[in-house]
Amino acid sequence: MANPLYRKHIISIPDFSREELELVVDTAGRLKHSPRNDLLKDKLIGSCFFEPSTRTRLSFETAVQRLGGNVIGFADGGNTSAKKGETLADSIKIIGSYTDAVVMRHPKEGAARLASQFSAVPVINGGDGSNQHPTQTLLDLFTIKETQGTLENLTVAFVGDLKYGRTVHSLTQALSQFNCRFYFVSPEALAMPDYICEELDEKGVQYTLVSSLDDVIPQVDILYMTRVQRERFDEAEFKKIQGKYVLRADMLANARTNLRVLHPLPRVDEIATDVDSTPHAYYFEQAKNGVYARQALLALVLNETV
Partner 1 sequence: MQYTRTVEALKEGTVIDHLPAGQGMKILRLFKLAETGERVTVGLNLSSRHMGAKDIIKVENIALTEEQANELALFAPRATVNVIENFEVVKKHQLELPETIEGIFDCPNSNCISHGEPVKSFFYVKPTATDTKMKCKYCEKVFSKDIVAEVK
Residue numbers at the binding site for partner 1 (CB under 8 A): 12, 14, 87-89, 106-111, 113-114, 117, 128-132, 195
Contact 304, 39 (CB under 8 A): no
**Residue 22: partners with Cβ closer than 8 Å, 6 or more residues away:** 151
Q: Which of 212, 206, 136 is nearest to 176 (CA)?
A: 206
CB 152, CB 131: distance < 8 Å: no
Give the burial class of 54: count Cβ atoms within 10 A of its Cβ; 0-12 exposed, 13-18 middle, 19 or more buried.
exposed
**123 or 144: whose CB is closer to partner 1?**
123
- Note if 57 is an active site residue: no
Residues 204, 227: Cα–Cα separation, whole Å: 28
Nearer to partner 1, 38 or 198 (CB): 198
7 included as an active-site residue: no
Q: How far is the CB of 81 from partner 1 (least distance, A)?
A: 14
What is the smallest separation between the CB atom of 135 and partner 1, expressed in angstroms?
A: 16
Residue of 7, 32, 36, 55 marked active site: 55
Catalytic residue selected from 27, 56, 99, 167: 56
Nearer to partner 1, 94 or 249 (CB): 94
Question: How many Å is the Cα radius of gyration of the chain?
Answer: 19
230 as an active site residue: the answer is no
**305 classed as catalytic:** no
For residue 123, the minimal CB distance to partner 1 (Å) is 13
Give the Cα separation of 250 and 276 in Å (integer): 12
Instruction: Tell me if residue 105 is catalytic.
Output: yes
Instruction: State the minimum distance, in angstroms, from the CB of residue 192 to partner 1.
Output: 14
Q: Which of 33, 84, 257, 305 is catalytic?
A: 84
Rounded distance, CA 138 to CA 152, Å?
15
Q: Are strands 123-128 and 101-106 parallel, antiparallel or unpaired?
A: parallel
Q: Between residues 46 and 69, which has the closer beta carbon with respect to partner 1? A: 46
Residues taking part in catalysis: 55-56, 84, 105, 133
